[in-house]
Amino acid sequence: MNMGEKLTFNGLFDRVEFVEIPIIQRDYAQGRKDEYEVRNTFLDALYLALTADHTNANQSLDLDFIYGNIDYGIFSVLDGQQRLTTLFLLHWFLAVKNHRTAEFRERFTINNKSRFTYKTRPSSTEFFDALTADDSFKNKLTQPKDLNTYSVSELISDSNWFYLSWKQDPTVQACLHMLDTIQKKFSEYEGDLYQRLINIETPYITFQFLRLKSFGLSDELYIKMNARGKPLTSFENFKAKLEQIIESYTDGWPDYKLDITGFNDNRVDGYKYFIHKIDTHWADLFWPYRNLFSQDNTYDDELMNFIRLIILYQYLLDKKDSSKAPAKDDLSVLMGTGSKLSPTTISEYEILSCLNQKFIIRLIRIFDLIEDQDSTQKIKTYLPNQKYYTEEETFKKVLLNETSYVDKIRFFAFYSYLSKHDSSLNQTELRNWTRVIYNLTENTIVDGSDDFYRALHSIEALNELDEPVLDILVKNTNITGFLGDQILEERIKAHLLLKSEDWQSAIYTAENHPFFKGQIGFLLNFSGVLAFYREHKDCNWNEVDNNQYLIQFNKYAKSAGRIFSLIEDSISNLEYRWERAVLSKGVYFTKRDTRFNMLHTRSTKDNISRDHSWKRLLRIGSNEMETKQEYIKAVLDDKNYDNDDITNSLEKIYNQALEKGQVEYWRKMLIEHFTIFGYSKRGFIEFEDSQITILGKSQRNHYHSEFYTKVIENKLRKIEDSFPSLLKPFTHLHYHEVKSRYESAGLHVKGWDFDGQLFSIEITKADDHFNIIFKNSTLNSYPEPIKDLLLDSGFERISPKQELDTVAHPAYFINTEQTTVEDVIDNLERLCEKLRTINDE
C-alpha cells in the first residue's frame, strides 16, 4: 500500500485550492527567536538541497509526512504546519529575490487572497493575504542599498499595509523572524533558486502527502495523538539529529548487545543500541532527576547538560595532538562564564566536529556505567566510602550545569578509570586512583580553561598507562597538568604507602585532616623523609630508620593537626597566638611584590585563602617556602609547646623570645600589639624602605594605616586604661586612616579647647623619625604661653610663607627629634603635662 503521495509544495496546490492551518493548531513556532536550533538546522537542509545539482526525483530532500484532511478543496493541516509555513515563506522570498513575484501571485493567490493561510487568528489570515498582495515589494528588496541595509522584517513593517497591531500576533512575529533568517541564508546565492523550488518534474524538496480520512483516522483521534501541542524541545531536536549522525557510522563500534526480545543478546551496532536505550534504560536512569534543573517534569534539560559535558571532554581530548590548547573563540562556544557549559546548538557542535564517533562511544560508555539495573531511583555507585569522590552529588552538579573545573576533572577521571577497569574492578586500586586525583585537584589551582585542558590530558595519559596509580608514581613517570609540588608529594607518599600498613594509616589520617585536605608535604619535610627522598630518589631505608621516620611523622602530624584544627575553627579566639609564636621564630609571611601576607585571615576575597594561607606556606618544593616552614617546625619543637594546652604554651613561646631579646623591633611590636592583625582584613602588610603599612584590604587605594603610629595608639590606649588623665587637656584619640600613598596616615590627639581655640596634635612617621605636629584648628595664631612652651620643648615653628601667618597659609609647630615609639610616648606625656599647667592657670 502506498502510504503517501510524494509532492512538492508547488505540486500540493494541484491537489487543493487552499492550504489552511486550522484554528485548533498553535501559532507558527519555527520562526520564534528561541527556536534558533530548529530554524537553522531546517534552513541548512533546504539550502543544501536547493543548491545541489541533481537530475532525478530520487535525489530530492524528503521532509517526511504531511497529514491532514481535505474538505471542499481546502487542505486542513494537522501535522506539518511548521514545515509548510517555512516552505511558503521561502517561496515568497525567492520569488521576490529572483523577480518572479508575478508567477508567485498567479500560483499562490486567488482574488488577492493567499492560498496558504492561517485560521488561528484573524490577524494571521490578514497578514498572509497582505504579504502576497504587495506587488511592489520586489522593488524594495532588490535595491542594492535596501538589500544591504534593511532586513526583510523592517521593510515589511514599514509597508503601508502593515498594521502595528500585528506585532502582537506570535505567528506574524515568527514569520518576520524566519524571513530575516532566510534572507541571511539565501540572499548571497546568485542563481534562480525559485525555479528549482517550484520544479515538479525533478523536484529538489518533497514531502509525503497523506489524507487522514483515507485511512479511517478522525481529526479527534489525531488531535489526541498530537495533544501536547508544544514545539520540540532543544533536547528532542538534538536527539533526532544525533541519532542521524550515529546511524551514519556503519562500522567502528564496540561490541554492543541488547538483552531484549528480538535481539537475543546478539551483537548490534551503535545506532540500534543507542536508539533503544535512550528511550528505555537511560530514560529510566534520568527520570528521578527530572526536575533538578527546571521544573518542567521532563529530564530533557538535565540530560542535555550531561551530554554537553561529555562533548566538551571529547572535544578537548581530540585536541591532544595539537601543539596548543583549543582556540579561545572555539572553546567559548562550548563554555560560558566561569566553568559553566554554554547552550551550544547542533550546528555549532558540527562546525567544531564535536559529534564524532569517539564522542558517541564515550557517551554510551558512561551512560552504561551510571545505569543501575538494580535500581530505578539513582545512579549506580562504585565506592563504599565516598571520601575522595562523591558520585551522586557530582552527578547532580553535572545535571544542574553547576560543576566547577575541579568537579569536571574528577568526574572525568572517575568514569575514565571505570571505563577501562569496570570488568575487573579492584576496590583498593579504585580508592588509590580517586585519592590521588582528589589530592592533585584539591591542591592545584584550576581557574581557567587552559588549566582545565592540561589537567584533563594529564589524567587521560595516566589512565592510558593501565597500571596501578601508586606504581606509576613510584616509577617517576612524567606527570604534568598539576602543581609540581603536589606531584612530588604524591610520589613520596606512594613509596611510603607501598612500604607498610603503618605508613598507610599515618598518611591517610594526616591527609584526612579538614585543614590539610591531602596536602601534607610539610610533614614529610619535618620528619626528614623529604630530605632522604631528594638524596636517594626513593624511601628504601632500614627498619631502624623507618621506625624513626614514622615516629617523627606521627609526632608532627599530631601537633600540627591540633593547632590547625583550632585555626580552622577561629583564629581570633586564639588572639593570633599562633601567628605571634611563629613570628617570634622568624618572618614567615608570604610575599607578593612589596606586600606580604600575615596569613591570619580566613577571607575569601581576592583569592586570599587560596594564594595566602598557612596551607600555601606548608607546600614543599620551594626553597623559600621550606625555609619559612622551619619557623613552624621551631614552634612545634619548642620545649614549651604543649598539645594539651596550646593557648598557654604558644604564649610562653613568644613571651620567652621577647624576654630574651631575640626578636627585632617591628616583630616585637606586632607580637605585643596583636590587635593590629585584626585591622588588616585580608592580611596584607607592606614594607617599603623603613616604612611599614598595614593595608585594610589588599591595595593602598583602600584605607590603610602606618604601623608604628598604630602601635603608639595601642600603647596610649592601654596606658589610658590605668591613667585616664594621661592626655589631658586633650579629650580623645583618633586614628586617621588614608586611601592614598600621597597622604600620611597617623594618630591625632584632639579636643583641647583653650580660650575658645581648638588645638590638636598629629603624629606621623617619616623615614627615620616621627613628626609630632602641634596645630591650632581655629585661628592662625598661638597664645604666647603655648608658643613659648612648644619652643622650649624642642618644637620648631613652621610657616609655609616666612613671616606670613594667614588662614590660607597656617603656621604650625613640629618636633622631629623622636626616633622610637617609646620616645614619642614619653615626649607626648611630658608635653601634655606642661599643657595641663597652662590650662589650669
pLDDT in tens, 65-120: 888 899 989 999 988 999 999 999 999 999 999 999 999 999 999 998 999 999 88
- Whether the per-residue pLDDT at 330 is higher than 90: the answer is no
* Distance in angstroms (rounded) separating the CA atoms of residues 670 and 676: 7
Q: Are strands 267-268 and 109-110 parallel, antiparallel or unpaired?
A: unpaired
SS3 58: helix
> Which three three-digit cell numbers place residue 110?
486567488
Average confidence score pLDDT of the chain = 88
The pTM of this model reads 0.74
**DSSP structural state of residue 231:** P
Predicted local distance difference test score (pLDDT) of residue 259: 76
Residue 343: count of CB within 10 angstroms of its CB: 15
- Whether the per-residue pLDDT at 807 is higher than 80: the answer is no
* Single-letter code of the amino acid located at 217: L
- Whether the per-residue pLDDT at 477 is higher than 50: the answer is yes
Residue range 416-463, pLDDT digits in tens:
999 999 878 999 999 999 999 999 999 999 988 899 999 999 999 999
Mean pLDDT in residue range 113-141: 86
User: At 190, phi and psi to the nearest 5?
Assistant: -90, -20
Nearest to 455 by CA among 436, 482, 478: 482
Dihedral sign for Cα atoms in the order 279, 280, 281, 287:
positive
* Distance in angstroms (rounded) separating the CA atoms of residues 671 and 754: 39
Dihedral sign for Cα atoms in the order 725, 727, 728, 730:
negative
Compute the CA torsion angle 778, 781, 785, 786 (nearest 10 deg): 60
Residue 518's contacts (CB-CB under 8 Å, 6 or more residues apart) are 435, 438, 439, 442, 443, 511
Residue 19: count of CB within 10 angstroms of its CB: 25
Q: Which residue has the higher pLDDT, 727 or 264?
A: 727
Predicted local distance difference test score (pLDDT) of residue 25: 84
Residue 261: count of CB within 10 angstroms of its CB: 6
Predicted local distance difference test score (pLDDT) of residue 216: 44
Residue range 33-68, pLDDT digits in tens:
888 888 888 999 999 999 988 766 567 888 988 888
Q: Are strands 590-592 and 18-21 parallel, antiparallel or unpaired?
A: unpaired
* Listed ranges 237-251, 312-326, 335-349, 660-674; the one with the highest mean pLDDT: 660-674
- Whether the per-residue pLDDT at 653 is higher than 50: the answer is yes
Please name the residue that has the C-alpha cell 600603647.
Answer: 715
Compute the CA torsion angle 179, 184, 190, 191 (nearest 10 deg): -50
Nearest to 576 by CA among 676, 682, 674: 674
* Distance in angstroms (rounded) separating the CA atoms of residues 676 and 622: 29
- Whether the per-residue pLDDT at 282 is higher than 80: the answer is yes
Predicted local distance difference test score (pLDDT) of residue 608: 53
Residue 266: count of CB within 10 angstroms of its CB: 10
Predicted local distance difference test score (pLDDT) of residue 374: 76
- Whether the per-residue pLDDT at 214 is higher than 50: the answer is no
* Distance in angstroms (rounded) separating the CA atoms of residues 617 and 560: 13
Predicted local distance difference test score (pLDDT) of residue 218: 44
> Which three three-digit cell numbers place residue 807?
588662614
Report yes or no: 383 and 369 within 8 Å, Cβ to Cβ: no
Helix (H) or strand (E) holding 310: helix 300-317
* Single-letter code of the amino acid located at 385: N
- Whether the per-residue pLDDT at 2 is higher than 50: the answer is no
Q: Residue 355's beta-bridge partner residues?
A: none
Report yes or no: 698 and 660 within 8 Å, Cβ to Cβ: no
* Distance in angstroms (rounded) separating the CA atoms of residues 9 and 542: 88
Predicted local distance difference test score (pLDDT) of residue 123: 82
Nearest to 486 by CA among 444, 438, 435: 444
- Whether the per-residue pLDDT at 751 is higher than 50: the answer is yes
Predicted local distance difference test score (pLDDT) of residue 568: 78
3-state SS of 518-570 is CCCHHHHHHCCHHHHHHHHCCCCCCHHHHHHHHHHHHHHHHHHHHHHHHHHHC
- Whether the per-residue pLDDT at 122 is higher than 90: the answer is no
Predicted local distance difference test score (pLDDT) of residue 535: 96
SS3 46: helix
Predicted local distance difference test score (pLDDT) of residue 137: 77
* Distance in angstroms (rounded) separating the CA atoms of residues 613 and 618: 9
Q: Binning pLDDT at 50, 70 and 90, where does residue 256 land?
A: very high
> Which three three-digit cell numbers place residue 378?
539513582
Mean pLDDT in residue range 624-651: 95
Mean pLDDT in residue range 126-131: 93
Mean pLDDT in residue range 637-665: 95
Please name the residue that has the C-alpha cell 595516566.
Answer: 462
- Whether the per-residue pLDDT at 323 is higher than 60: the answer is no
Mean pLDDT in residue range 759-783: 91
Q: Tell me the CA end-to-end span of the chain in Å, nearest whole number.
A: 125
Q: Binning pLDDT at 50, 70 and 90, where does residue 774 land?
A: very high
Helix (H) or strand (E) holding 459: helix 449-464
**DSSP structural state of residue 738:** B
Residue range 485-527, pLDDT digits in tens:
999 999 999 999 999 999 999 999 999 999 999 999 999 999 9
Q: Which residue has the higher pLDDT, 543 or 622?
A: 543
Which region among 232-236, 494-498, 548-552, 669-673 has the lowest average model confidence (pLDDT)? 232-236
3-state SS of 107-158 is HHEECCEECEEECCCHHHHHHHHHHHHCCCHHHHHHCHHHHHHCCHHHHHHC
Please name the residue that has the C-alpha cell 619548642.
Answer: 638
Q: Cα dist. 418→45, 274, 323, 426 in Å?
A: 39, 20, 29, 10
Predicted local distance difference test score (pLDDT) of residue 688: 87
